[in-house]
Amino acid sequence: MKCFYAPETDAHDPQFRLTHGKLLHNAEQAERAKLLLAGLEKLGLSTESPAAAPRAALEAVHTPEFLDFLEHAWEEWQKLPNCGPEVVPNVFAQKAASTYPKDSIVGRAGWHMGDTSAPIGAESWTATRRAADCAVAAADAVLAGEKMAYALTRPPGHHSTADTAAGHCLMNVAAIAVERMRTQHAKVATLDIDVHHGNGTQGVFYHRADVLTVSVHADPATYYPFFVGYAHETGEGEGAGFNLNLPLPRTTTDAVWLAAIDRGLARIAEFAPGALVVPLGLDAHENDPLAGMKITWEGFREAGRRIAAAGYPTVLVQEGGYLSPDLTTSLESVMSGLLGR
């Protein structure tokens, strides 16, 4: 399996996090990459540094205004009097009845950032740009004939929409991989197994019939992202019937989780895509610090086996999975299943 990782992404190490009214250290830390790389090393999998993807690959998902914001926000923020070290919004747009505040970086932050958990620092643009390069390189490897390829992407992406970053995510790297696969495949499916609903990916493709989005996640009634990810959300317009949400209780263990994955794979089989993109969150593990579910390493291994058995050309794009020594073994486990080891 070809694996892609850009060392430049390590320079993105966000600090700000607001949880239950307390200022805490952000959970999406650069150390995550070291733990994930250790998991690949245990399997004898090496990584390649990706080439720069064309700007058009990013623009296939994101608006020009959003990309411009991500690229220049930190520099503009530093011109504010008494500014903080990271871009963190203190006001949020209600976009249904709003005007784009193109002349204010504070206003633009509130427009393009959906919450306070994805602060933008000096190297955040470089990191998300290189993460997108990894996703495109993995997609290109599969388009060139690889059965599977993995992109070690951070910051992650599945909470970001076409013009909004949120939930530790900047560019939606999984959606970028989907669009790259669509250059050769008429239909592409996603199977998001992150413990959080892939609300951004859902939003990008919600009105389309050429991309089926499936997400297995903790019930948003009591868990992030709260407002999206419910079973009744099935797509709109041409996309009606092409979104499947499978929310589960936070007490979920292996058997129920794997049954939901089977249900998702059955819907994907009906859709008959040419390729599959898996937003590979590992934060459903029982020891993950975000405590979303109770999945074991054997559960991850079995999920990998079932995804591999589906037989699609598959791009794996790293999403969540947070700081715990178990993160290394979580990636090793799911990869072992995917590789039939």
pLDDT in tens, the chain (341 residues): 999 999 999 999 999 999 999 999 999 999 999 999 999 999 999 999 999 999 999 999 999 999 999 999 999 999 999 999 999 999 999 887 789 999 999 999 999 999 999 999 999 999 999 999 999 999 999 999 999 999 999 999 999 999 999 999 999 999 999 999 999 999 999 999 999 999 999 999 999 999 999 999 999 999 999 999 999 999 999 999 999 999 999 999 999 999 999 999 999 999 999 999 999 999 999 999 998 999 999 999 999 999 999 999 999 999 999 999 899 999 999 999 999 99
Partnered with residue 246 across adjacent β-strands are 216
**What integer pLDDT is reported at residue 94 of this predicted model?**
84
Catalytic residue selected from 12, 112, 158, 159:
159
Is the pTM for the entire model greater than 0.85?
yes
Is 159 one of the annotated active-site residues of the chain? yes
What's the number of domains the chain is made of? 1
Is there a contact between 69 and 112 (Cβ–Cβ < 8 Å)?
A: yes
Cα 11–chain centre separation: 19
**What integer pLDDT is reported at residue 95 of this predicted model?**
82
Domain span at residue 299 reads: 2-339
DSSP string, 64-121: HHHHHHHHHHHHHHTTSTT--SSB--S----GGG----TT-HHHHHHHHBSSSSS-B-
Q: What is the CATH number of the domain that holds 52?
A: 3.40.800.20
Partnered with residue 295 across adjacent β-strands are 285
Cis peptide bond N-terminal to 225, omega within 30: yes
Quickly count: other Cβ atoms within 10 Å of residue 80's Cβ. Answer: 12
